[in-house]
Amino acid sequence: MSVRLMVVLAVLTGVTGSPNVTMRPEDDSADMSAHPNSVPETMEQTDIAGQQEEEEPEEYVMATGELNPNHYPARRAAQVVQHYLNTRYGSPYRLFHVERVYSGNAEDVGDSGRKYQLEISVQETASNATEKCSADIFFPRGEQHSPEVQASCVELLKNDTKVQEEALYQQYKMNQTLLTAHHLPDSHGNMEPDMKPFWHLGIVASSFVMLGESTENTLYNMAQVANVTQLPTENDQLKFDYHILLHDMVSQEIIHWKLLFTWSPAEGVHMLKMDQLPHCHDCDKPPNTN
């Protein structure tokens, strides 16, 4: 009997695996309200991560052909669409947020990469308008390349924000003192109302980084603007130096980037320079990134 009991215990120990593999579940509702540009992982997804050895075959099957819209292959591809829309159409008063994945399909395209076809709903956060959109995402293989995205969400582009953008542009173009701000949001998740456009502008600018860094196995979220400094205007473009913190939702790491870019209502965001900063072991985690 003692030998049999020892064998049973050994089998159970092998099935359970290492507790260090388990990821902490994400709170969807809290993360959505704190970060309009996030698509947090669901409880189902974190359960899969916690049982990696058992679930890998299922994930491989799911990633080809029809996709489960609640599992990570479809939702991570949808997040790339969000970054794409923000880089193309985002502004201090217009942000795009993937609200739901309805359906998805994935297929290999020879040896060149993989193509995802998704039906999603996208929300434009300033107007709270939502539209069901189709999107194609192609992830190239080999050396690191940005995914290619095609998405049609024409109804969401009808929200006219030109008046607000022009007023903001004129105010900070004519200011005698250049803007400086820190910790948007602060450690309690708060920020002054007049700083919210610059938080939104940080999300738009960070989408250039997140789009460029995205693969089939990543999920990024803009966590915080650590610092923003307005530089002297050049060629009628407002110029900014941003230090942003990205949340890698897969590894739970906070990644620091320095962004140099310009913005105007007519030209949108034009990225001049993007530099990833060395990993900061002693940095505190920004608020509301879980």
Q: Give pLDDT tens digits for 24-44.
A: 333 343 343 334 433 334 333
Please give the pLDDT value at position 42. Answer: 37
Please give the pLDDT value at position 225. Answer: 97
Judged by average pLDDT, the poorest of 215-229, 247-261, 267-281 is 267-281
Residue of 218, 196, 206 whose CA lies nearest to 257: 206
CATH number at residue 266: 3.10.450.10
pTM of the prediction? 0.76
pLDDT digits (tens, 9 = 90+) for 155-173: 998 888 999 999 999 999 9
> In terms of pLDDT, which residue wins out, 257 or 57?
257
Please give the pLDDT value at position 176. Answer: 85
The pLDDT > 90 percentage for the chain reads 65
Domain that includes residue 81, residue range: 23-276
pLDDT digits (tens, 9 = 90+) for 178-193: 999 999 999 899 999 9
Highest mean pLDDT: which range of 78-82, 139-143, 159-163, 248-252: 78-82
Please give the pLDDT value at position 58. Answer: 40
Residues 274 and 257 sit within 8 Å (Cβ to Cβ): yes
- Is 200 among the domain residues? yes
Residue 13 has pLDDT above 50, yes or no: no
How far apart CA 65 and CA 121 sit, in angstroms, is 21
- Is 10 among the domain residues? no
- Is 6 among the domain residues? no
Q: What is the mean pLDDT of residues 266-274?
A: 96
Q: Per the structure block, which two tokens stand in for 243?
A: 């230090």
Q: Per the structure block, which two tokens stand in for 278?
A: 């060395």
- Is 4 among the domain residues? no
Domain count, the chain: 1
- Is 74 among the domain residues? yes
- Is 203 among the domain residues? yes
Strand blocks (E) in 212-287: 220-234, 237-248, 253-264, 268-276
Residues 180 and 156 sit within 8 Å (Cβ to Cβ): no
Query: What's the whole-number average pLDDT of the chain?
Result: 80
**Dihedral sign (CA 234, 237, 240, 246):** negative
- Is 164 among the domain residues? yes
- Is 244 among the domain residues? yes
Q: Write the burial class of residue 177 (CB in 10 Å: 0-12 exposed, 13-18 middle, 19+ buried).
A: exposed
